[in-house]
Every structure is written in C-alpha cells, then in structure tokens.
A and B are shown apart, each in its own frame.
Chain A
C-alpha cells in the first residue's frame, strides 16, 4: 500500500531535549516536504526536498533541521525544541515538483507538545 509513514504519532517532551520525527515513503517519490499545522493558520511549509541531498527552506524553517540522505526518508530534527514548536506536523511526498498537477500525499501527522 502506498503510504507516507511518520513516527512518532504523538510526543510530549520538554524544552531543549533534541528530538527527531521520522518520515518514510514507499512510492519512490523524489519530492518530500514537512509542514506544521496550527489552528487558524492552516499548514505552513517548514522544509522541502526536491531530491536526495537537495533541501531548501519553506516559510517557517527556524528551529528545524532536515536531511535527505536516502530517497525514501526525510527526518525532521528539532535540536533544541521550544514551546512555540508545539504543533501538528505533517510529512508529504510527491513524484516530483517539476511539472504540472503533482499532488502531495500526506502522512497521518505527528502531534508534538513541548513543555
């Protein structure tokens, strides 16, 4: 089954404790992206990757890191989480973004609470 898998689904942690949210897709997609969803703000793009070893900033990259060493994985790293990073996070992927009409497939989301 084609899917985007995020782990963990829920995490409560404390300020300053490094954490990683993993994202894996089994569709051989070139493009992957991370979003955060906050009430009243919709989804905002954090980072995206057009292909292996190619990453770029979205609208809200501060406080986050990503890496794309393999095609299927795109982890999101919070080196020193802070309470304002409490949010619902979605990973997404698509075949590529080089042509028209490429919808993104979303994972089930990771709800992070930073105390």
Chain B
C-alpha cells in the first residue's frame, strides 16, 4: 500500500521566516501534487511535479520532486499571514488499476503570525 507522510504536522512561525514542508514515501509516484486548503473550503491545486529532480517555483513557493520520485518538498520564503492554511501532498495510487485516484498525506497545518 502506498503511503505519503508529511512533516511537520504543525508549524507556527512569524511573518518573514522561511519554512520547508516534506512529503515522503517508500513508493515511487508518477507525479505528486501539492494543494492548499483553507478552513471550510476545498483543496486548491498549487502545483504538479512530474519529473524526478524537477523544481517548480510559484512566487515565494518552491516545490521539488526527489530524484527517485519518492518524495517532495515545499519551501516558502518570507512567509506571510496569507500563507496560513493546510498544505497537502497527493499522488496517484498506482495500485488502483490506473483510475487516477489520489492518495493524500495527512497534511501540514501552517500558521504564520503577523
């Protein structure tokens, strides 16, 4: 069974600090997605990483896919209160018979204090 483990589970930092969130697995994924979810809302897709070693940037957010495609990281530079939310990584369950269903990590709750 494929699992995705995120760390840390909770993170509380001051505005302006940098942070990194990790998403790890013992299984290979064809791609990984990162979502952000705010209270009372659905997950919003931030990025998809596909190629091992790939780095994608979205303003102050940098996403990296591990060379072996088993892990990914999200780095936020100079965090702002608007970055507060639940960050989720997800990957396609390759044991699902190619149905595209996603496995999610348990999420990282980020709080950025002004």
Do A and B actually bind? no
